[in-house]
Structure 1
Amino acid sequence: MGYDGGAFFGWARQPDMRTVQGEIERALHMVARVGDADPDEPLRLTVAGRTDTGVHALHQVCHLDIGEEALGRCVGHMNVPGPEALKRRLQRMLPRDIAIHDVTIAPDGFDARFSALERTYVYRVADRASLVDPRMRGFVLHVDADLDVDAMNEAAALTLGLHDFGSFATPNPGGTTIRDVKTAYWRRVLASPLIGDAMAMGESYRTPAAESGLLCFTIVADAFAHNMVRSLVGGCIQVGMGKRTVDWFAGKMATPLREGSTGPIAPQGLTLEHVAYPPDDMLAARAQAIRAKRTL
């Protein structure tokens, strides 16, 4: 699924607040004709990554347990399998800032959260070297500064590997801020035309691709602690603006202590782009292994 997080108070269901989980579960109970408080059919979603308020997702993954009878009620008069019927009904029922890409029967041992191998997030920035496009203000952060990308990449490189990110994140109850970062880098999107040269057909102006010139931070890890990506982005941007040094960033990595200079940057630039899983026969083993508390 994907969603525009701008009008949501994050993923997780909260009383009296509009959340992604809350909207989808409300629709699930309606299309399956199950009471929201039914103890025999709770229809609760487990998600790969619980995004914060204002954060987007392009390819989010979640699972739920649903009985054959409830799934059959989704079919109605449609001559399609239950998962396809559920997808179609959810697509019609949900608001336009949520998109259901697919619904399938999960393999044995699958857990959307614990079976995942890694998550990929991208944070998009328009700095002074970028063309600020007001149409993209909902998922791109505008920074009125000339950013030193080389210095930002020096800082980003310090996050690679297994570290305690306590300076840049807060743990869940009973959890830790230890995470294994596999990839982390800043790159500017090359300015390129929307249509390739073979299709140019002689036009004098070439429409640029929407993201041309944006500065993007891509980070891949086994999992992320609360506010971790946005705080790392904030730290890197402080380095890129010359307000902080790479040595300062290195010190925050070496001493995992949260304080005011490493708080999260604005959420709108952040998108969960991808969640990777192992082969089907390794799903259960992965889920079992990742439930263990991380240590250094």
Structure 2
Amino acid sequence: MPKFAIKLVYLGRGFHGWQKQPKLRTVQGELESSLERLFNLQIKVVGASRTDAGVSAEGQVASFSIPRGDFTPKRLSSVLESFLPKDIHIVDAVVVPDSFSARFSAYGKLYIYTLASHRMPLDPAVQPVRLTNKLNLSLIPRIKRAFIGEHNFSAFSKSSSTEKDSTRLIFHFDIIPQGELLRLVVVGESFLQYMVRGIAGATLACLQGHISPENISEMLTTGKRSYHFRTLPPEGLLLKKVFYSREKLASIVNWLKQNPTVDRRLDEMLAGI
């Protein structure tokens, strides 16, 4: 049975997350249902990231095997997309080895969290959280230094998480003002549930003067949420890229360090699976 990986784009507001759940509309559920109608067979789909309800993706990757050998990646993309709902799009597909797993073969992920000024008309595709208070942008370098590296992210993730080890490695973190937008770019090896939203919430609280960069460093050491900040809503979060090459991951991190921006050049560099 040939195995494929596909790259998906979807808006999170229409789904109860990635993971299949009884009687709830999810991305995995829609994809498996479409594959079953196409091949008249139940096919298990593995996703790179179990995005939460409301979280969008431009770079989600799913892997699965199909019972027929007459499908090229291009044909599979075209035919499968005709079975999918209009709010899920396939933007790339490749044949992968049997050993490939969209989740466990990944070396890292890139997320972007978007915040917007209250003066900016909202783009429903971006769904950013509103900024209502003046921000102290001079704190950005200290906040970035606090998060980069290997830390205990218990204080920034879901309190009821069942993960035994809350240590995670952040390769790159940036806070980028772009006009009326503030974008948080996070590249890490792997992430706990709600972790990026927790990082975004602590960053915003720090920029607003409610906590300090030193408070963030303390929580990353102790793993305890000793200072108040809120986990920001899922609507501002975007899964931008999943990396399956260490070389590609390193090159993107180096590029981001030299080009602190989110624009078309980054999109071009992140093309493909």
Hey, what does 1:48 align to over in structure 2? 48
CA distance in 2 between counterparts of 1:185 and 1:279 reads 20
What TM-score does the superposition give when structure 2 sets the normalisation length?
0.80
Secondary structure of the residue aligned to 1:216 is: strand
SS in 2 for 1:21: helix
Against the structure 1 CA distance between its residues 93 and 277, is the aligned structure 2 distance closer, same or farther, given a 3 Å change threshold?
Answer: same
Tell whether the 8 Å contact from 1:169 to 1:231 is kept in structure 2 after alignment: yes
Runs of 4+ in 1 over 3 A off after TM superposition: 170-175
Q: 1:245-273 CA distances to partner (integer Å, 9 max, x unpaired)? A: 22222221121024783442111111000
Structure 1 position 25, deviation (Å): 0.8
Change (3 A) 1:51 1:146: same
The separation in 1 between residues aligned to 2:153 and 2:226, in whole angstroms, is 12
Q: Give the one of 187, 193, 200 matched to 1:233.
A: 200
Change (3 A) 1:216 1:155: same
Segments of structure 2 that go 5 or more residues without pairing to the other structure are 1-7, 248-273
Q: Does 1:223 align with 2:197?
A: no
Q: Is 1:14 matched with 2:24?
A: no
Q: Which residue of 2 aligns with 1:64?
A: 64
> Is 2:131 the counterpart of 1:143?
yes
Count of aligned pairs:
239
Q: Report what 1:182 is aligned to.
A: 171
Map 1:117-136 to 2 at 5 A: 117-127=107-117, 131-136=119-124
SS, match of residue 247 in structure 1: helix
- The residue that corresponds to 2:148 in the other structure is 160
Change (3 A) 1:168 1:83: same
Query: Considering only CA atoms, is the larger Rg found in Structure 1 or Structure 2?
Result: 1
Of 204, 214, 218, the match for 1:251: 218
Q: How many Å separate the matches in 2 of 1:251 and 1:116?
A: 30
Q: Distance in 1 between matches of 2:88 and 2:102?
A: 18
Q: Distance in 2 between matches of 1:260 and 1:57?
A: 30
Structure 1 pair 101–163 and aligned structure 2 pair: CA distance change class (3 A): same
> Who is 2:255 aligned against?
none
Match of 1:75 in 2: none
1:176 partner SS: coil
1:95 shift after superposition: 1.7
Q: 5+ unaligned residues in a row in structure 1: which ranges?
A: 35-41, 73-80, 190-211, 281-296
Paired residues of 1:234 and 1:263 also in contact (CA < 8 A): yes
Q: Percent identity?
A: 28
CA displacement 1:237-296 (0-9 Å, x = unmatched): 01111122222222211210247834421111110001111279xxxxxxxxxxxxxxxx
Q: 1:137, CA displacement in angstroms?
A: 6.7
Question: Larger strand proportion, structure 1 or 2?
Answer: 2
Code of the aligned partner of 2:77: K
Deviation at residue 66 of structure 1 after TM alignment: 2.1
Q: 1:127–1:146: 8 Å Cα contact kept in structure 2? A: no
